[in-house]
Structure 1
Amino acid sequence: MTTPESQPVYLGGPRFQSDPAELYREMRRDHGAVAPVVLDGDVPAWLVLGYRELHQVTSDPQLFSRDSDLWNQWDRIPADWPLLPMIGRKQPSILYTTGERHRERAAVISEALESVDPFELKGHAERFADELIDGLCGKGACDIVGEYAMLLPLRVLARIYGFSDEQGPGLVTAMNDMINGREGALAGQRHLGESMYALLAAKAESPGHDVASRMLANTAGFTLDEVAQDLMVMMAAGHQPTADWIGNSLRLMLTDDRFAASLAGGRHSVGEAMNEVLWEDTPTQNVAGRWTTRDTKLGGRTIARGDLVLLGLAAANGDPHVRTDAGALTGGNNAFFSFGHGEHRCPFPAQEVAEVIARTGIEVLLDRLPDVDLDGPAAELTRRPSPWLRGLTALPVTYTPTPALGATR
């Protein structure tokens, strides 16, 4: 006989689409701060639900390592396992690098991103946002997610990394194909890789004022493969979560009366909505992973050496032990785990870049389409069923058709 306390939870399925917050509450009730879960193929893992426990895991890279070679389940993982892109063998990227080498690589990325001029970044975001809205503003209706949010972040990232504006749309298509994981995924991955190596070859010949050139110029001694892998990781990590941040924030503003002032041009509420989304509806729900270097205890559980530990960022944000008042930690409080924590957290400059892109994208849309309104009942909005990233499948809206900017000049 099995009980809720002993039965692992399948990390997938429709509940991650409908109401993951309620699912996390049930898991915390039945299992405590650390829950046993199973992945596709009945592969076991642990999901950290507790805020304090997540802080413990991410603060101790010696015990909870990013070295996936430690995993004690590799002998039962088939070559076509669908989660290999998410939980794969160690790759030559910063994701799986540990120790001093990781700190050096993180410093190279941070220094390259810190050199991005914030005014130029905002200018690029405004320009691409206007370009996308020019293609939508005369229609009177559109899908904000598919026709705007999923197209904007990578256009901006490609520009500051050093790609030409002409290459941007193709990179966006390739990235979205890869993220969707369907028939175009492998072709999209190849296009991104080939484009990145071609970019680095061009920048080695003729450096510019861009992120790729600055990473190549760094004297820390990283190989071309390492630089290319890190740039591709940065693009992927910066694109989809930022697109979902835009979509989830606009959903909140269009469905919650508290943010109605933003639709008339109030800027303070835009920032509040974005911050609330990071607490309550964070794009990055769960992150893989950490692997234990020895037997240990965590949240009252015995974790064996080599076990996979998944970071439940969304669950930790809602931990009632730190959220005794469900609304008390929103507003200006930034103690959420939405960008991770510890030495493998999203670099602060990357977080700032994402925030500029997301906020600019929302503000430009509200400026250009001031009477934008949800097209249909909010209850009919659906989410992708992924347990990893949380975003809308679509956000249909209506608005008064207006001419493109070029037509008014």
Structure 2
Amino acid sequence: MNAKEIKQLFPILNQEVNGNPLVYLDSAATSQKPLKVIEAIDDYYRRYNSNVHRGVHTLGTLATDGYEGAREKVRNFINASSIEEIVFTRGTTTALNLVAASYGRDNLKEGDEIVISLMEHHSNIIPWQQVAKQTGATLKYFPLQPDGTIDLADAEKTITSKTKIVSVMHVSNVLGTINPVKEIAEIAHRNGAIMVVDGAQSTPHMKIDVKDLDCDFFAFSAHKMAGPTGIGALYGKKSLLEKMEPIEFGGEMIDFVGLQESTWKELPWKFEGGTPIIAGAIGLGAAIDFLEEVGLDEIAKHEHELATYAIERLSEIDGLTIFGPKHRAGVVTFNMDEVHPHDVATVLDAEGIAVRAGHHCAQPLMKWLEVTATARASFYLYNTKEDVDALYKGLVKTKEYFGDVF
């Protein structure tokens, strides 16, 4: 299928916004959902809505099969060794918080170091700030090259024998930078540290193999990969997860409860307290089926071509600054001279073009870029070169409008 054919499978994309055909360029914030995913969730609620694991009746069995079947799909999708290494969470943020609050709190002490990068999303900064305060550990940052990349020589200098945790986003949600997480993991392990990867922006767009990356933890969200909101997953090496304590307690995650002491279920269920996100998991499973049918390699190739084309077109506009490296994922972030990004996004919205404007939950990176905010166009498997052309025309119109104003 080509992008135009794929677009027809997403009901929301076949509409007009403000009298214009919708051009959705905000998939880095959340992707749209194909009919296949919507129908899978609808089918669960219409036909076999029930809680999982606890019941022996037919609906409960169907729900459990759907929920645990989705876990197996996730395992296969990222090439984990077993389902014991796949913990369902509310998303990437929850997964990273789980690692910081459980592994970090129990394994860090004063004098230890946590290393992250200046380009991180707030969800991969604040949990480490908090655990550093709690344990006395020091939070350090990889420096960035002028184009917004991490140099491995800098990684070698920043990671030391004191480093216990390295946590880096696989792909920047602002710059589109594809970080060398496999190589950084090797440096981390050589120094006795573990490697955590924020895969929110990579998992939807490229084939992930956690064994090849040799990361210790890997987190991602369904809503950025054609799946529903409110569900994601944490991959963790079994040897590490087994030693970690849950951070949420209650039903479903217990083995035995006494008056004074309780014991936990085995992996991965000891981390999934309460009624789990059943419909979300089923929707995530359907999204994985959809993406695998299209092909992750084809998606990555298509988005790279779109990003390259977008940079070529947008570079023709005088006064437009594009941030980030030449080789990137399907994200193009930019600013227009004398025009606030929110104003750019407002004019584009009037043309039916949806882009993101703001600090993108990356305020330290904005400070490094010496801006307060940026506008961002992000592409997915349903976008086309015609969408890029529409963005170009919308930006030209924006420039003309504010040129007249000023």
Does TM, normalized by the shorter one, top 0.5?
A: no
Give the TM-score of the pair, scaled to structure 2: 0.29
Normalising by structure 1, report the TM-score: 0.29
| Higher RCO structure, 1 or 2 (CA under 8 Å, sep 6+) | 1
Query: Greater share of strand residues, 1 or 2?
Result: 2
Please identify which structure carries the higher helix content: 1
